[in-house]
Amino acid sequence: MFNLIEKAVLGMATLRLLSGSIEIFAAILMLKLNDVGKALVVNSSLALVGPIVLILTTTIGLLGLADKISFGKMFWVLLGVGCILYGVRSN
């Protein structure tokens, strides 16, 4: 009768909502500071939040699928996330 939300999905969605809220707060803070240098510092801080949220949501999702997905496929997903993080890292 009731559709219960899976814990993994709830955790992933909560992290994404938190991440989006941080992004909106950062944009408001940039407008309030009204200084390019300070806005750049705020924007640079966001560069740290994105990969952390990506890793955490992927980890939660993989843990939620741990009983449904083979180890080999889980390895490929983690390798893909690693490639994404390697590709976007700064020099």
Amino acid, res. 18 = L
For residue 21, being part of any structural domain is answered with yes
For residue 54, being part of any structural domain is answered with yes
Total domains, the chain: 1
Predicted confidence band of residue 90 (pLDDT cuts 50, 70, 90): low
**What pTM, to 2 d.p., does this model score?**
0.73
For residue 43, being part of any structural domain is answered with yes
For residue 50, what are the domain limits?
7-88
For residue 1, being part of any structural domain is answered with no
For residue 32, being part of any structural domain is answered with yes
Report the alpha-carbon distance of residue 48 to residue 60 in Å, rounded.
19
List the structure tokens of 58: 């992927």
CA distances from 28 to 22, 46, 54, 73 (A): 10, 13, 23, 41
For residue 50, being part of any structural domain is answered with yes
Contact 64, 8 (CB under 8 A): yes
For position 2, what pLDDT does the model report?
Answer: 60
**pLDDT tens digit sequence for 37-71:** 999 999 988 888 888 898 899 889 888 888 888 88
Residues 6+ apart with CB under 8 A from 80: none
